[in-house]
Amino acid sequence: MAPLTGLSLFLVAVGAIASPLQKRAIDGLNTRAVAAGKAYFGSATDNGELTDTAYAAGLNNTADFGQITPGNSMKWDSIEPSRGVFSYAKGDVIANLAKANGQKLRCHTLVWHSQLPSWVSNGNFDNATLIEIMTNHITNEVSHFKGQCYHWDVVNEALNEDGTFRESVFYKTVGPAYIPLAFAAAAAADPAAKLYYNDYNIESAGLKSTGAQNIVKLVQQYGAHIDGVGMQAHFIVGSTPSQAAQEANMKAFVDLGMEVAITELDIRATTPISDADVAKQVVDYGNTVRACKAVERCVGVTIWDWTDKYSWIPSVFSGQGSALPWDGDLKKKDAVYSAILSAWDSGTAPTTTPTRTSTAIATPTTTTVTKSPGCTATAAPKGTAMLWGQCGGMGWAGPTVCVCGATCKKYNDWYSQCV
């Protein structure tokens, strides 16, 4: 390989996969993120993909990826497929790759209703036994990877779209306490790892984001440790929240003492993607990265794999795809890639140090079930909460009476909702 000239540097920057050594010397998504004060720009990956040499070379390029997340190999069904039998071989491959490359590792995920072996979901365990099983799983896995996980996604997707708790086996058996218990077990096993709650559709204000904020308060109320909230950000071209909406939402978590991260970013389109959708996608990627740039405690952005070749989208959303900055032939999409690069450069980096607004534990309110008086209105009149709206909970200053026809139901001390 001839020495890099200005021209060949340019060609490498916009062109196809070059040798890792050559690429490490150049500018990329991660180097720009770090220059913007972030900890990383990263990608999810999976064991099967690593035998694809061109793919592995791209993932190894730390100019683009300073962090990796195992897509599947640290999930419960992979780690503890039967009770008490732990299998770390695949998770170790990803952890060792991160170590060899000097990439940060987001470990994913300990407690999730999906990819959960049926011995857990259908075991009909009582409360104490399920807590024991969950705690044992967390203690064993977090101890195994101790010192290697920059972040742990401790609890994943615990919420319904309306912000109420998902009826997982953990919720049904243990109640909301499973969440703080999980965080406490993870903190005990690796005090250095940053502990995250991770979910989708919490990237802008709404019932589900409010629910995630209530989860943060719940963990804090129990005296357990939580460091951050992961916004998955599985977006759709043209309906991605604005930069302002994402920033304001991140700040709501920061105000609770959290750091935040974009953990699973992809922006899907109907395939084959139209030029108009490419133009929207460029704006959408830019808005999301600029939002993270603008919020000091947003620590990094992870895309959910880096090439359409290994994206989960087409297999789950039929007729959709083209969600990532590299295409199915591992070719960089210049417009999307440049949009991310320049988003990291945009504006000035935030300099203020955010402070926790309050660490005091408030006294729970007593929220009683309130049925609104008979009426015919369909919209929520002033002073009443709308259907699915929050109508009570600790620290809640909003309406406590629901719109006509809805009932304010208390889920726990932190959250009542019009149903």
Ligand X SMILES: *[C@@H]1O[C@H](CO)[C@@H](O)[C@H](O)[C@H]1NC(C)=O
Chain contacts with ligand X (rule: CB under 6 A):
20, 53, 56-57, 60, 97, 100-101, 127, 131, 174-175, 177
111 burial (CB, 10 Å; 0-12 / 13-18 / 19+) is: buried
Cβ at position 175, least distance to ligand X in Å: 4
Tell me, yes or no, if 264 is annotated catalytic: yes
Closest approach of ligand X to the CB of residue 180, in Å = 9
Q: How far is the CB of 117 from ligand X (least distance, A)?
A: 21
CB of 131 to ligand X, least distance (A): 6
Say how far apart CA 56 and CA 326 lie, in whole Å. 14
Residue 6 or 223 having the CB closest to ligand X:
223
* Nearest CB to ligand X, comparing residues 96 and 357: 96
Min CB(222)–ligand X separation in Å: 9
Nearer to ligand X, 7 or 100 (CB): 100
Q: Closest approach of Cβ 416 to ligand X, in Å?
A: 18
> With respect to ligand X, which residue has the nearer C-beta, 4 or 57?
57
Q: Whose CA is closest to 79, among 87, 89, 67?
A: 87
Q: How far apart are CA 220 and CA 223, in angstroms?
A: 5
Tell me how far apart the terminal alpha carbons of the chain are, to the nearest angstrom: 66
Contact predicate 363/371, CB 8 Å: no
Q: How far is the CB of 17 from ligand X (least distance, A)?
A: 10
Q: How far is the CB of 223 from ligand X (least distance, A)?
A: 13
User: Could you write out the three-class secondary structure of the chain?
Assistant: CCCCCHHHHHHHHHCCCCCHHHHHCCCCHHHHHHHCCCCEEEEEECHHHHHCHHHHHHHHCCCCCCEEEECCCCCHHHHCCECCECCCHHHHHHHHHHHHHCCEEEEEEEECCCCCCHHHHCCCCCHHHHHHHHHHHHHHHHHHCCCCCCEEEEEECCECCCCCECCCHHHHHHCCCHHHHHHHHHHHHCCCCEEEEEECCCCCCCHHHHHHHHHHHHHHHCCCCCCEEEECCEEECCCCCCHHHHHHHHHHHHCCCCEEEEEEEEEEEECCCCHHHHHHHHHHHHHHHHHHHHCCCEEEEEECCCEHHHCCHHHHCCCEECCCCECCCCCECHHHHHHHHHHHHCCCCCCCCCCCCCCCCCCCCCCCCEECCCCCCCCCCCCEECCCCEEECCCCCCCCEECCCCEEEEEECCEEEEC
108 - beta bridge partners? 153
Q: Please identify which of the residues 157, 203, 247, 264 carries the catalytic annotation.
A: 264
Closer to ligand X by Cβ: residue 220 or 372:
220
For residues 174 and 299, which CB has a smaller minimum distance to ligand X in the complex? 174
Query: Token pair of 52, please?
Result: 């694809």
Smaller CB separation from ligand X, 126 or 334: 126
Based on its alpha-carbon atoms, the radius of gyration of the chain, rounded to whole angstroms, reads 22
- For ligand X, the closer of residues 222 and 317 by Cβ is 222
* Catalytically annotated residues: 264
